[in-house]
Chains A and B, each alone.
Chain A
C-alpha cells in the first residue's frame, strides 16, 4: 500500500499551479469572511456572545 501511494503521487501533473490555487482560496475566503463580519447585525452577535452566560442563570 505504501508503495502505491508513494509511487502514485509522483505522477501529479502541473503541480506548479498548486500555490496559485491555494493563494486564490485563501484570498477569497478571507474577503468573504470580512464581508460577512461587516454585514452581520449586532443583535445576532450579542445573542451568540451571551450563549455561555445564559445557561444556568435560571
Chain B
C-alpha cells in the first residue's frame, strides 16, 4: 500500500510547553507568597495581595494554567503520533492555545480583585465559565477530528484517558457552573446549602480526578514507555485501570463532607467508593512502575526516568492516602487541618509537577533534535525538587496532627485544654516556615529547568512541521469474530458515549436523590433569609475569600460543640447561596459566631479585630483588613434579592423597593453598637466592615429563635 506523507505540528506543542513552564513558575511563586503570608501576616500589604484572594489564584494557576497547559502539551504531542496524523485543524489548535491563555489572564486579574464564586477550584465567575466551556469544546472537537482522520486502527490507552478527561471535565464544569447571574461579574449558585456543598465536592473531587489524574495517566501511558523505550507492562491491566477508575472516581466526592450536615447515606456511599478506588489507582501505578522492569539500571542515569519514577511513586502514595483519609475515623483527625494541604501537595508537587518536568526534559531535546544541555543541572533540579516535596509535606503532616490533637484535647475538669483557638495557630508557625522553605526549594527547580531547556533549544534546531509517513487506514470495519471492546476501541464516538454513561451514572445516582428528595434536608421553621446588609456582608466575606481559612460547619463532636456551640443542621443552610462550609480551618469555624451563641463577640470587637487583628488577638495571622473602611457599594442589592427570590428564597414580592432603606437602617444600628466602645472613633455606617459585622453577627443564630405557630 502506498504511504502518505504528512507533517506533525510541533509548533503548537512548543507554545503549550512554554506556557506550561511560564505559568508553573508564576503559580508556584504565588503559592510561595501565600505560604509566607501565613508566617508573616504583615505581607498582606494590599487587598489584592491578601491571602484570601491569592490562595484561589495559586490553586487556579497551578491546576488550570500549569497542569492545564501541561495536559495540552502532552496531548498535542502524543495524539498526533499515536494516530499518525497531524492535528485535525490548525486553526482550532491555535484557538485552543490563545483562548486558554486569555482565560487564565482574566483569572489573574479577577481573582486578586476578589471576583469569586467562593467554590474551590471553580472560583471563576459565570462569564469566564462560558469562555472556558467554549475553549474546552474547541479542544474536544479538534481531538475528535484528529481521531476520526487517523491512520492507526486502534486507539492506544492514553487516548481513552484523554477522551474521558474531555467528556468528564465538560460535565463537571457545566454542572458546577449552574448559576444565576445578576450582573456581569456576579452570580448565585443554583442550589443552596447541603445541595450546593454536595455538588461542590462532587465537582471538587472530580476536578482532581479528571483534570489532575486521568489526563496525566494518559501522559504516563505514553511518555513512560517512550522514555524507557519499552511497551507498557500490561495492556490488559490498563483496560481494567481505565474503566474501573472512571466508574468509581465519580462517586467519591462526599468523602470531603464526612460528619457534616450532608445526609448520612451520601457520606457512606462516598466512603465505600473511595476505598474501592485504591484498586484501580494502584493498578495504574504498578502498571507505570512495572513498565520499567528490566531497565531499572537506566533510572540511575536517565534524569527523565528519575522524574517519572518519583511522580508515579507520589501518585501511589497520594492514592493510598486518599482512601485512608475517607475513612470516617481518619477524617475525624485530618479534616480541616494542615494534613489536607500536605496530601494535596504530594499529588500536586509529586505527581503532576514531577511528571510535567520529566515530560519537558524529554520533549525539548526531541523536538529541537539535540541532547539536553546539562544533565547535572537537570539532576540538581530533580534533587532539590524531591527535597522540596519532603520539606513541604512532612512539616504539614506534623502540623496537621498537632492542630487536630490540640483542638480535641480536654483538661481533667472536662474543659477544653486549648479553649482559645489562637493557641493552636501560634503553635504551627515553625511548621509554616519550613513549608515555605520547601516551597522555595521546589520553585527553584523549574527556574533551573527553564535555563537548561533554553540552552538546550539554542544548541538545536526546531522543526515546526516534522515530516512523517504512514499508510492510510482503509478499513475500520469489524473483522469476523471480533470482540465488542475491540470494536469500540476503534469507534471514538461510541467510546465517548460509553465513558459519558460511566461517569453520569455516578453523578446522577448520587446527586439527584439529594436534590430531589426533600426529606434529606429537614427544614427548620426559625431559619429566615438574610437581611440586605447581611447579604452585602456575605458578598464581602466571599470577595475577601474568608472561606479559605474559616469553615462554617460545626461537626457533631464533643470538642467542636464545646468550642463553637450547637452542631450544624442541614436545614440551617437552606438560604446559604453559596454554602461556604469551607475545607480548612486556619482560623476558627465561624458558623456559630452570631448572636445567641457562646462564641459570639461584640460588634466593637469585630470592628477592631477586622481592621487590626493583632490588637484583639495577639499572635493572630489574619491579615489587617484596613481596606474594609471603604464605602460600601450596595448598588447590586436589588439584583441580589431578585436573583435569590428566583432561586427560591422567600423575599416578599416588591421587597427590592424597601431593601436599601432596611440596609441603611441596620447599618446605623450596627454602628451604634460598634461605637459602644469608647476607643473606636472613626467608624461610619457606610463602611464595608459594618456589613461584614452584620453578617457575622447573624451566622448560626436563627436556630435559637422561637417560632410562633399560628393556630
User: Which residues of A are interface residues toward B (Cβ below 8 A)?
Assistant: 2-3, 6, 9-10, 12, 15, 18-19, 22, 25-26, 29-30, 32-34, 36-37, 39-40, 44-53, 55-56
Chain B residue at minimum C-beta to C-beta distance from A26? B247
Interchain CB contact under 8 A, B516 and A10: yes
**Partner among B156, B158, B190, B485 whose Cβ is within 8 Å of the Cβ of A36:** B485
State the 9 A-B residue pairs at the shortest beta-carbon distance, nearest first. A49-B231, A36-B485, A51-B156, A22-B509, A55-B81, A49-B235, A37-B236, A45-B235, A48-B154
Contact with A along B148-177 (1 / 0, CB 8 A): 000010101110000000000000000000
User: Roughly how many angstroms separate A36 CA and B236 CA in the complex, as a whole number?
Assistant: 9
**Partner among A2, A15, A29, A30 whose Cβ is within 8 Å of the Cβ of B512:** A15
Interchain CB contact under 8 A, B483 and A36: yes
- Looking at chain A's contact residues, the main secondary structure is helix
Chain A residue at minimum C-beta to C-beta distance from B643? A2
**Partner among A30, A37, A45, A51 whose Cβ is within 8 Å of the Cβ of B82:** A51
Interchain CB contact under 8 A, A53 and B226: yes
- Looking at chain B's contact residues, the main secondary structure is helix
With A48-B235, A52-B158 known as contacts, the answer to whether A30 contacts B243 (CB < 8 A) is yes
Write the nearest CB–CB distance from B544 to chain A, whole angstroms.
28
Interchain CB contact under 8 A, A51 and B484: no
**Partner among A18, A39, A44, A53 whose Cβ is within 8 Å of the Cβ of B229:** A53
User: Roughly how many angstroms separate A9 CA and B646 CA in the complex, as a whole number?
Assistant: 17
CB interface residues, B 495-523, toward A, < 8 Å: 502, 505, 508-509, 512-513, 515-518
Interchain CB contact under 8 A, B516 and A25: no
Q: Judge if B145 is at the interface, Cβ distance under 8 Å.
A: no
**Told that A22-B505, A37-B236, A48-B156 touch, could you supply 19 new A-B pairs with CB distance under 8 A?**
A2-B178, A2-B180, A2-B647, A6-B190, A10-B516, A30-B247, A32-B485, A36-B239, A37-B239, A37-B240, A39-B483, A46-B231, A48-B154, A48-B235, A49-B232, A52-B156, A52-B221, A56-B81, A56-B468
User: Roughly how many angstroms separate A12 CA and B508 CA in the complex, as a whole number?
Assistant: 12
Counting chain B residues whose Cβ lies within 8 A of the other chain, the interface size class is 35 or more
> Could you say which residues of chain A place their CB within 8 Å of the CB of B502?
29
> Could you say which residues of chain B place their CB within 8 Å of the CB of A39?
483
> Could you say which residues of chain B place their CB within 8 Å of the CB of A50?
231
What are 17 pairs between A and B in contact, CB < 8 Å? A2-B178, A6-B190, A12-B512, A15-B512, A15-B513, A15-B516, A29-B247, A29-B502, A32-B484, A36-B484, A48-B154, A48-B156, A52-B225, A53-B225, A53-B226, A55-B468, A56-B81
> Could you say which residues of chain B place their CB within 8 Å of the CB of A29?
243, 247, 502
Q: Judge if B486 is at the interface, Cβ distance under 8 Å.
A: yes
Write the nearest CB–CB distance from A24 to chain B, whole angstroms.
11
> Could you say which residues of chain A place their CB within 8 Å of the CB of B157?
48
User: Roughly how many angstroms separate A30 CA and B485 CA in the complex, as a whole number?
Assistant: 12
**Partner among A18, A37, A53 whose Cβ is within 8 Å of the Cβ of B231:** A53
Interchain CB contact under 8 A, A52 and B226: yes
> Could you say which residues of chain A place their CB within 8 Å of the CB of B232?
49
Q: Judge if B430 is at the interface, Cβ distance under 8 Å.
A: no
> Could you say which residues of chain B place their CB within 8 Å of the CB of A3?
646
> Could you say which residues of chain B place their CB within 8 Å of the CB of A45?
235-236
User: Roughly how many angstroms separate A37 CA and B239 CA in the complex, as a whole number?
Assistant: 8
Interchain CB contact under 8 A, B231 and A2: no
Interchain CB contact under 8 A, A55 and B517: no
> Could you say which residues of chain B place their CB within 8 Å of the CB of A53?
225-226, 229-231
CB interface residues, B 176-220, toward A, < 8 Å: 178, 180, 190-191
Interchain CB contact under 8 A, B82 and A6: no
Contact with A along B75-115 (1 / 0, CB 8 A): 00010011010000000000000000000000000000000
